[in-house]
Structure 1
Amino acid sequence: MPAAGQPRGYAVIDVETTGLRPSWNDRVIEIGIVHLDLAGEVTGEWSTLINPERDLGPQHIHGITAADIRHAPVFEEIAGSVVERLEGRVVAAHNLPFDVRFVSHEFGRMGVETPLDHAAGVCTMAWSAEFLPGAPRNLADCCARAGIPLNGHHDALVDAHAAAGLLRHYLDLAGPRPPWTPLLGMSRSFPWPVITGSGAAGVRRGVSAERDPHFLARIAERPSCPADPGRAAAYLTLLDEALLDHHVSVAEADALVGLAARLDLGRADVAGLHLNYLTVLAGAALAEGPVTEDDRHELDLVATLLGLSTESAARALADASASPRPGFARFRLSPGDLVVFTGEMDGARDEWELRARQAGYVPHGYITKRVRLLVAADPDSLSTKARKARDYGIPIVTPDAFARMLG
């Protein structure tokens, strides 16, 4: 700990965002902060996902899922923690103006002013011209030139550590008085706000896998009472819509658990319905001819998604052969159905809309009760379209699933 009045060192930051411009309502969705002492040694780190309460933008770049974000605090809940980790330090980043602009905007949304200013910090990208002459300016190439590992690019804490490594490299080259030495003394006097009641715990990637048990385990145990045809059909219809993309999103799992409770279905009842559903799928495969390896793979996948045992697919095929189960109304798109798209997908939006038109469907710009399907880059999307689709009971599928529907 530095003596009173002495420089505290550096806070190297990185943010992942929903886009490139706060003025376009883009938000911070992850922040990483690494502390360095005056010699460039790492003395601490901190990071968290941040719920932007909107869609997550280019997920194929940052890799953050809505399933994880739903567990994350909003910025207001961690603003005090950010101040605590920046106060009294020189703020550094690779492309510092970008990070400062976004973090300042988040504080500004709260009506809070901070002394964040890229002119009062160290930009490892800008200084690369002096310390890494001839190197490209992006983080990956600068790290490669300086011999700094960068594994997991576009994870805020990983990138903050990489930028911290660059800063340490620059400090080694600069000697005892780096060009930004005056900032170290000034940093202790910057007027940071006092923010109370915003010390929520940070949330890291992968939290959904840790905190969200399989939805079958969340259904209450009740005395077994097989569902009558009406209740069974209601549950199986929603289940079929959830499995259109061979994935049960967190939101779909919540919906299934909620419906089971409203229908007074216990865990054993639902497990029985899951096996019935698998048997219907097996019967459909048998009806099309000899069961292929692809058919068996799909049945195994669905069994896993439904929380059934590894032997369930074989049992379903045997049951379907011996005594075919009555079917239920499977989800099907029909010519003229309205289809809406949301999120940043592989391929341009107009290309997806063209493919939909060629298949006889009608791309639509927004959600109404007449819409038949929402295609979302992330099935747990927090976008307004996705929220409204869930309110209206409109199925949500991934682009890959929609492509399979198109044939």
Structure 2
Amino acid sequence: MISDSILELYKHQFAVISLETTGISPQHGDHLIELAIQTVNWNGELLDSYETLVHPGKDIEGFHIHGITDEMVKNAPSISEIASDILSRLNGKTLVAHDLDFAIRFLKPALDGAITDFKGICTLKLANIVAPDSGLRRLEQICSYYDIDIAARHTAKADSLATAKLFSILKNLYNQQFKIEDFVRDFLSVIHINDCPKERNLFIKRKEAINIANIQKTRLYDLINRLTSNAGDSVPVRQYLNVLDRALADRILSEKEIVSLVELASDYSLSKNQVMEIHEEYLRKLIRIYLLDEILTNSEMEDINLVSELLCILPKDLELLIEYERTKIQITTPSQQKQLKSLKGKSVCFSGHLNCKINGERINRELAQQLIKERGLIVKRVVSKNVDYLITAQVDSFSGKGRKNQKAMEYHVNVMEEKIFWEMIGVTVDCNEEKG
């Protein structure tokens, strides 16, 4: 019969932690610079993953070992800022680390005594119990012995994931040699934190930090930071976006193009925040177009990331923009997705006044053009043989009067009622009852 303690063990969670530091001794001035915590259950399933660089408050040494530079941690949170994220992920769990004593030496002072009984499971010690004759100590050696791949050595995330896999193997081997009750008695040590703070989810990952560092090195970033902090009264959004369109056509910002953008911003007394808002709007529209089929492909994400870097938009802000645009998309059926894809590049021309409204507001020509362009179609001012659709308020009253109508009949252009057209491209509208 399975004991209550063993049943409880199957419900138990383990916080597998790995650190990167500036040295080996916090007592002699060394600091934590990266941390990762993987939460797993008894079966080894990953329940939560947390990683962040940590600002050490001093210059970093040993770059050749861990690959972390001063520039990478420049915008990272301090250990005191992420203390609640660490504590919330350790609370109610058993701590696991390779060389647990080393991890505790750095964590205990950093967490300011919040954990009084700092115990856990050391995979190094557990490995020596399971295979005492192996003589292996380092994480990469033991992982290699048990055929565990470490994706990127000396990164907290890769090491913690490898340690989690190693722990799963070692505890299973231990339970083959000993009783599971022995494991519960000798290794299970649940951390309890009184008045445990809620997690804040503060973090900066390596890739994000590198992107931020690259952005902050750019000429455009430097010049934007020199703009006034006082917002200008006149914001030439269209003019600025037009310059951006031309400058970013080849996905390269030359020195001349950068200077032109900054000069335009200065001429209109635009503040840094106003310029960044226009940049975000430009990127938002690009994301919107790529999300027409509700999927961002690898090539589309590469382009979005490139434009984001060129416009000095930080990775976290980009994530928020993508998330926001995803929430605005109406879920479409596969047949509708196929239809939207087939419409990309088609040209549209309007005839007469527009009657439809969005949320009670009549669609004007400017909004109509924006809605069409965001969906990958092209707006034409005049009807020609290259126009695919002529949009009119009422098809049943359509006649050959008017130059556009005559041209549409001459070139056999598809004439479509406004409401049907909006529905076709996925825009929800209500229509005015007035005719004509």
TM-score, with structure 1 as normaliser: 0.49
* TM-score normalised by the chain length of structure 2: 0.46
Question: Using CA pairs below 8 Å that are at least 6 residues apart, which structure has the higher relative contact order?
Answer: 1
Q: Please identify the structure whose Cα radius of gyration is greater.
A: 2
